[in-house]
Amino acid sequence: MSIITLASKRRSPGLAAKQRKQALRTLAFMSPWLIGFAVFFAYPLISTVYFSFMHYDGFKAPTWSGTKNWTYVFEHYPYFWPALRNTLWLVVVMVTLRVVFGLGVGLLITKIKTGAGVFRTLFYLPYLAPPVAATMAFAFLLNPGTGPVNSILEKVGIPAPGWFNDPTWSKPALTLLALWGIGDLMVIFMAALLDVPQEQYEAAELDGASAWQRFRYVTLPNISPIVMFAVVTGVIQTMQYYTQPLIAGKVASGVIQGAGTQFEPGYPEKSTLTLPQLVYNLGFQRFDYGSACVVALVLFVLSMVFTAFLMRRRGGLNLAGD
Amino acid sequence: MAQVLDKPVQVHAPVSPAERTARRRSLFEWIAIHSLGVAAALFFTLPFVFVFLTSLMSDSQALSRDLIPHTWEWANYKKVFDTPGFLTWWKNTLIYAGLGTVLTVVSSIPVAYALAKFRFRGRSLALMLVISMMMLPPQVIIIPMYLFWAKQLDLSGTLWPLIIPMAFGDAFSIFLLRQFLLTIPNEYVDAAKVDGCGDLRTLLKVVIPMAKPGIAAVALFQFFYAWNDYFGPQIYASENPGAWTLSYGLESFKGAHHTDWNLTMAATVLVMAPVILVFFFAQKAFVEGVTLTGVKG
């Protein structure tokens, strides 16, 4: 780098040409993304804002409808508030449990001395199961008729819940599925835990700190940025939560899929509705593209608020260039 | 990162012969921790086991509450393969995942390289936009995108609306690769320049060979993304069963075999198995990728 700068300084008339060449080079390397950004991000985003003020069913030309779509979604669309409430429930319960459980499993794996490699692989595998397949598996495992979980529960004498068929148990069932696929958080926490300086534990032990005190005053402060990261990415993932609740609801309700089949989303009783499902329901089942865009924008604002958290220095992604 | 899986396990301080109680306590701790480990292992593996066992049950037994098959019906798997469409879903999934992965890797590498090693105005803005794109739920922009592909280009009923965008860089892949390229010292890049390499040759001859683990991680993630994708095929391919993928078709399989949990579970196993096989061959690259997208650079 320095040699190049020296050379260009000697021939100062060439400096501008050099800079132009470098700008062109950057442009060339960035070009795939620049096109992608324009065509698959900026344009559709602006277009979504535009359609949110239009009445459009995909057949007749769009007509201006002012804020009608907005008032429809917020005041009359029966699925909006249930979906938002479900998202809040999932953020509070599912994200919290995932972080706590992920940290617990991460801690456990750092303490296991015999067969650690086997345990790690077994704990990690469910994270890889394709969401549709994993949800299908849990819909079977938890089905109240012939499912193994309820068979075992009843043998032991514990009252078996209706899981995906019962509105009070459908979200806990989804939480169970989410806890099963904890592998990503386990790996992140494991790496963080192994990075905690060993001397700090030794010093704490010398001071007579109990196991809990060591965790509270040594481990937690050291890994708190990772905990923050796990919470924020967990919230963003919850905003996008789509495939699992959709499949669980469809399988439990027994709706047969095929081209053009209609189904009531959120079975049972709207308890598995999430915001992304509303975009599908409004846009591709009701052909009300304008209102679908309103929900899309709500989803956009919520996701970006939490993404902004991620870009902060502490507890955020490492964005430092060099 | 890579060491996560290889890091030697920390052994507790050696027990002095005099301290019997300490030794007994550490034995007790060993038992407690490993019992917990076994309990957790059961939680993580039993769902797979029950799914697999059910997939081998006879039709009548699948309707019962039995946990273990009386007769092992391997023919269930043949029935799944003979289901009309199943092989087409396999083929479509491989095209979507394979072609999509190649396009993503080729288009994302130069962008990630520029973001990691070039100095230019607007670089941090570009990086922030990449992260925003990465965190954007696909549903936010789906209405205009669908209108674009279906009404303007008449490509609905195919997987092209999902494959073509991958030729224009994928935000997650760009970000992961950029994080990886940051770990390559600038001296290598500068040295190549001194030797007279242009930017493209430096990238091809010096940077890419050093970035192989990162590229492998990106390719794996992208392959799995396409394999697992449900929303994309649901929007663009649902009207044409000839374009369905495994993840999308699996649900209709459940629909067609309404009460036959055994066949549905066999199909579920067949959708899960390739992913898990790939993982065993590429465990290291995978775990590295997960850690890399985390907080550390």
Instruction: Look up residue A153 and give its amino acid.
Output: L
Q: How far apart are CA A250 and CA A135, in angstroms?
A: 11
What are the b/e assignments for A20-29, b being 16+ CB within 10 Å? eeeeebbeeb
- Supply B79's token pair: 């029935």
Q: How far apart are CA A36 and CA B169, in angstroms?
A: 7
CA A60 to chain centroid: 36
**Own/partner long-range contacts of A249-253 (Cβ < 8 Å, ≥24 apart):** A249/A164, A249/A170, A250/B251, A251/A135, A251/A136, A251/A139, A251/A164, A251/B251, A251/B254, A252/A139, A252/A143, A252/A163, A252/A164, A252/A165, A252/A170
What confidence category does residue A17 fall into, taking pLDDT thresholds of 50, 70 and 90?
Answer: confident
pLDDT tens digit sequence for B222-239: 999 999 999 999 999 999
Q: Is the pLDDT of residue B292 over 80?
A: no
- Using alpha carbons only, give the angle B90, B95, B97 rounded to the nearest 5 degrees: 90
Contacts with A32 from chain B: Cβ below 8 Å: 107-108, 110-111, 167-169
Q: Which residue has the tokens 């499902």?
A: A277
* Nearest Cα residue to A267 out of A286, A255, A279, A253: A253
* Nearest Cα residue to A306 out of A224, A237, A223: A237
Residue B271 has what pLDDT? Answer: 93
What confidence category does residue B59 fall into, taking pLDDT thresholds of 50, 70 and 90?
Answer: confident
For chain B, say whether A232 makes contact (Cβ under 8 Å).
no
More confidently predicted of A267 and A40: A40
Asked whether the beta carbons of B51 and B265 are under 8 A apart, the reply is yes
Strand partners, A54: A64
Instruction: Look up residue A322 and give its amino acid.
Output: D
What confidence category does residue B177 fall into, taking pLDDT thresholds of 50, 70 and 90?
Answer: very high
Longest CA pairwise span in chain B (Å): 82
Contacts with A117 from chain B: Cβ below 8 Å: 5
Strand partners, A55: A63
Residue A12 has what pLDDT? Answer: 60
pLDDT tens digit sequence for A201-250: 999 989 999 889 999 999 999 999 899 989 999 999 999 999 999 999 98
Query: Average pLDDT of A153-169?
Result: 92
Query: Does A184 sit within 8 Å of B231, measured CB to CB?
Result: no
Query: Does A35 sit within 8 Å of B65, measured CB to CB?
Result: no
Query: Does B271 sit within 8 Å of A146, measured CB to CB?
Result: no
- Using alpha carbons only, give the angle B103, B108, B110 rounded to the nearest 5 degrees: 120
* Nearest Cα residue to B115 out of B173, B76, B57: B173
More confidently predicted of A277 and A308: A277
* Nearest Cα residue to B202 out of B181, B173, B216: B181
pLDDT tens digit sequence for A104-160: 999 999 999 889 889 999 999 999 999 999 999 999 999 988 899 999 999 999 989
Query: Does A39 sit within 8 Å of B168, measured CB to CB?
Result: yes
* Nearest Cα residue to A129 out of B20, B4, B246: B246
Q: In A269-288, which residue ranges form alpha helices assigned H by DSSP? A: 275-280
Which residues are within 8 A (CB) of A75 and not within 5 positions of it... i.e. 6 or more apart? none
- Total CB pairs under 8 A between chain A and B: 310
For chain B, say whether A82 makes contact (Cβ under 8 Å).
no
Residue A6 has what pLDDT? Answer: 45
Name the percent of chain A lying above pLDDT 90.
Answer: 73
Contacts with A45 from chain B: Cβ below 8 Å: 140-141
Query: Does A35 sit within 8 Å of B168, measured CB to CB?
Result: yes
| B176 class by beta-carbon count within 10 Å (0-12 exposed, 13-18 middle, 19+ buried) | buried
Query: Does B248 sit within 8 Å of A132, measured CB to CB?
Result: yes
For chain B, say whether A164 makes contact (Cβ under 8 Å).
no
Q: How far apart are CA B99 and CA A177, in angstroms?
A: 31
Query: Does B5 sit within 8 Å of A32, measured CB to CB?
Result: no
DSSP E strand stretches across chain A: 54-55, 63-64
> Rounded to two decimals, what is the model's pTM?
0.89
pLDDT tens digit sequence for B113-164: 999 999 999 999 999 999 999 999 999 999 999 999 999 999 999 999 999 9
How crowded is residue A147: how many other Cβ atoms within 10 Å of its Cβ? 22
Which residues are within 8 A (CB) of A12 and not within 5 positions of it... i.e. 6 or more apart? none
Bond prior to A265 in cis (omega within 30° of 0): no
- Supply B72's token pair: 């092992």
Query: Average pLDDT of A8-14?
Result: 57
Query: Does A322 sit within 8 Å of B272, measured CB to CB?
Result: no
For chain B, say whether A3 makes contact (Cβ under 8 Å).
yes
DSSP state of A64: E
Which residues are within 8 A (CB) of B152 and not within 5 positions of it... i.e. 6 or more apart? none
How crowded is residue B226: how many other Cβ atoms within 10 Å of its Cβ? 26
